[in-house]
Each structure stands twice: as C-alpha cells, then as structure tokens.
Structure 1
C-alpha cells in the first residue's frame, strides 16, 4: 500500500502524467461540472463579504485554528431527504467543499483536511463508490488551476492501491502543480483510514530499519509522525479543530494519531448545508476552549 504523495519516502514511486487525464464519462456529459454560479465564495466580492463576516463575528483572527479537519458526513442522507440520488448528494458535498476551501483561505486558516472517502466507504454499492472516485477526480482536475493561482496547495492522502489509476494521475498532477504554494494546504483524504495510516507508517519504518537506515531504538513519536500521511504539512500536520457534520458523534477512523489533542465540534447539519454561519459557529466554539494539552494551568 502506498500514499500519494510519499515525498518523505525515497522508495516511493513518483507519478508524473504527461498530460491532463480525461474527465470520467459522467463529467464529459456535463453531469458533474461545477458551474461558477454553484461555487459560492470564489469571487472578489464574495471574498470581501466573507472577510467582513469574520470581523462581525467577534472572532479573534490571531486565535483561529491553524489546521481544520472536516468529516464531510451526511451527503447521501441530505439527498435522500430531497428525493435525490446518493450521487446528487456527493455532488452537492463537492460544491460545498469548494465553498469551505474558499472561506478557509479568506479567513487565514493555514491547513484544511477533508475526509472525502474512507476505507469503509469502499464497501458501499459499486455505483456509489465509482461515483465518489469519479467526482473526486473531477473536483481535483476542475480546481487545480484556480487553486494554484490562489496560492493553495492541493494534496491527496490515502491508500493509492484502492484508487483508480486516473484518480492517482490527477492527484499526482495536482501535487506537482501546487507543491510550492503556501497560503493554504488542502489535503483530500480519499480511501483513507487512521489505522491504515499508522500501519503504512510502521511498514515504512520497518523497511528503513531492515535496510540499516535507522535503529529500532531511534523510533519515537517524532519519527513515526514523520511517516504519516499528513507529514507533508510539516508543523501543521495535526489538526487543531475537527468538525463533523450530520449529528454523528464519533471519529470514524479519521486522523487517529493526528487528532490526539484536537478540539472537536459536532453539528446536526448535513455536510451540503454546512455553510458560512456553521463554520463561524465551529470557530467560535474552538476559541472558547481552554487547550492545556494535558498540563495544569498555574
């Protein structure tokens, strides 16, 4: 099992497509195309309004979380409640992710990790899984140029062996095109699980030890963390705030190591309905927390 990308691993195979991969069939038919009118928060006026909303909210910009992680739950239930298909729900969820990325950039969030598809999601009906993979590929390809212009880095993390080849190529191309951007680091967790993440890190360390590159006694928390999927984000590898939508009160195998000292915010809103007001509420909740990291305040 490998991740995309494994920039810290000298044994990782780098994927360098020579041209943009073609969109999946449904995308070519127009079914998944995300029109500009559908993506709030991408224009200059929308950015100005979002910045003003942050000021009006009473939030302290200097105390915002640097890294926000979101479990984008409830897309299928959102669709079912409206008589729509699961595919329609995932499409709406993709649109909303664009909005949340735009808000994060305007508000000064430094890293955003979105749980797009888990290992467990791969057990859903084949048609739904194929749609999630195809939509993920299209979202990456349709946004990479815009994100690059905005100084946003886009990276896909997860088990590449479970991804279609076209998605792996789109992910590698996005990483190559945006790797030098630093305004916001967006990580899309696709075919990801926290347990898988720790297992693959241990395997890398075991291979390194067998090759004589390190001693087992050298392995500590810092060394193991350097092999996790989010390690490319450096000091931003661990989320300060984890947001979960749809009323579920669990982590669902997401960033198990990295979220050890994260603050959590749960909302009953389905992911497609998680908008600016809900995001501001999550940030207000975060700023109300006393983060002691196991220590006692004197």
Structure 2
C-alpha cells in the first residue's frame, strides 16, 4: 500500500542529497493551498493563484534540471467550475498570460507542453493559448510539462470506457481482449507512455486526499503530502520530496528479496 509523508516542512531540510539514478520519471502534483496562502496574507484568492503560477515556472525548470521525464500538474479540475465566477474567470485567464511569458523559457529548456482534460469546454482564449503552447513546443524532446486542465479522473475513466465500448461495438475489439493495456491506451495519459503512470504524487498544503486525480494511474505511485502551500513550494522542497520517495521500498504488491 501507499506510504505517507511525515508532513514536516521539507523546505526546512538543507543539503538534501539525491541518487541521480533514482529520480522519479513521472512526478504528478496536486497544487493546493493558493487561496489559503493569499488569505493568510490578507490578499484576495486570485493573488495566491498568480503566485502559484510563478511557482509552476520555478518547479518546471527545477524538475527538468533534475532529469524528470514528465511533470503533471493538476491545474483545474472538472469540479472547480463550482468556485465563484470571478475566481473561475481569473483561472481561465491564467494559461493565457502564463504561456505568453513562459513558452520561450520552455523552448530554451527543451520542455514540451501537453494538456489533458476536456479542453474543448474551456473559453476560446484559453483554448487558443493552450493549443499555441502545444504547437510551439512540439519539437522539444526533453521533459514533458503536462497540465491537467478541466480534468477529472472519473470523467476520464467514463470517457475511456465509452471509447473501448465503441471499439467492441465496431468489431475492432472483443470483450476478452480488454486488459490493462487496453484501458491505459483509452485514458488521457496514453500519449505519455512509457511514463503514463506517476512514480511520485505530491500534494501540497496539508490535505491528504486524491481529489479525483489520476485514480487509475496512481495505483502504485508513492504519495507525499506536505504542509507547504503551493506558492511556497521551492526547488528545495521538490528535492526533499524526491528524497522521501527514494527512501521507500517500492514492491508493487510483491515482497522484497530479503524479507
């Protein structure tokens, strides 16, 4: 089963030493705590989201420099539409300003942008910004920066099941042929293969739940929960989380040879 982080602030840990041969290939992050970060400073919630985007820029470069292959960030869920209209409108504008200023740095660092989720349901300007960033970075072959935008794992699984059912109905697939590989290929992370499943899932701000994120893909991921709010998350925090990951014995349901 999953092991859980002890929740002390990893940003307080100095001189973290990492095994460069055991850097997680795919790190997924639930970027939580922007609103509470702003509230604690008597600022509007949108100030937290703005600072959170600055953190995305820093952590993207840090992860790329460490040799991470895929960094998946939970940017906006299918449930986030329930938030106040002003906040939602601001969140929809963020990708526009983010990509407008950051794409040159992504290209410089050989980072490719991918986006998973129901992008066609986003405002036109947001769709345009997303599609332009994908197009402009398509030739980059370093780390993939994968945004989960208007994404929800249950909706993803339903869509995947519908896709498989249609293949069966069309005679392209038999029921007996459906297996893990079939499901993997029907999900929104299929394009990330062979790194579709995160090795490490990090959630910031002290909450300890998955919140409808990559539920199929994290079956054997290591989970790290930290009290650090996303705007305060630094390259040092990331390294500390990876160090915690490297301290674990990943058995994938089996037992260690010496047990």
Under a length normalisation based on structure 1, what TM-score does the superposition of the two structures give? 0.79
Match among 101, 106, 117 for residue 76 of structure 2: 117
Give the superposed CA RMSD: 1.3
CA contact (8 A) 2:77 2:148 kept: yes
Report deviation, 1:208: 2.3
Q: How far apart, in 1, do the equivalents of 2:135 and 2:167 lie?
A: 26
What does 1:42-61 correspond to in 2, within 5 Å?
56-61=15-20
| Structure 2 residue 245 is the aligned partner of structure 1 residue 249 | no
Quickly say closer, same or farther: Cα 1:75–1:207, change in 2 above 3 A. Answer: same
Report deviation, 1:192: 0.8
Q: Which residue of 2 aligns with 1:204?
A: 163
Report deviation, 1:266: 0.7
Higher relative contact order (CA 8 A, sep 6+): 2
Match among 245, 249, 252 for residue 293 of structure 1: 252
Q: Which residue of 2 aligns with 1:173?
A: 132
| Structure 2 residue 21 is the aligned partner of structure 1 residue 62 | yes
Q: How far apart, in 2, do the equivalents of 1:207 and 1:167 lie?
A: 30
Report deviation, 1:113: 0.3
| Structure 2 residue 182 is the aligned partner of structure 1 residue 223 | yes
Per-residue Cα deviation, 1:128-173 (whole angstroms, up to 9, x for no partner):
0111111023212322232123211101111124311222222222
| Structure 2 residue 58 is the aligned partner of structure 1 residue 104 | no
Q: Which residue of 2 aligns with 1:267?
A: 226
What does 1:176-195 correspond to in 2, within 5 Å?
176-195=135-154
Count of matched residue positions in the alignment of Structure 1 and Structure 2: 243
Under a length normalisation based on structure 2, what TM-score does the superposition of the two structures give? 0.90
Q: Which residue of 2 aligns with 1:39?
A: none
DSSP-derived class of the 2:186 partner: coil
Q: Which residue of 1 aligns with 2:85?
A: 126
In structure 2, stretches of 5+ residues that fail to align are: 1-14
Q: Which residue of 2 aligns with 1:17?
A: none
Match among 121, 132, 138 for residue 162 of structure 1: 121
Q: How far apart, in 1, do the equivalents of 2:113 and 2:213 lie?
A: 19
Q: How far apart, in 1, do the equivalents of 2:254 and 2:138 lie?
A: 36
CA contact (8 A) 2:95 2:129 kept: no
In structure 1, stretches of 5+ residues that fail to align are: 1-55
Q: How far apart, in 2, do the equivalents of 1:213 and 1:98 lie?
A: 43
CA contact (8 A) 2:95 2:130 kept: no
Q: Which residue of 2 aligns with 1:52?
A: none
Q: Which residue of 1 aligns with 2:10?
A: none
DSSP-derived class of the 1:282 partner: helix
Q: How far apart, in 2, do the equivalents of 1:79 and 1:99 lie?
A: 19
Quickly say closer, same or farther: Cα 1:179–1:288, change in 2 above 3 A. Answer: same
Q: How far apart, in 2, do the equivalents of 1:148 and 1:211 lie?
A: 41
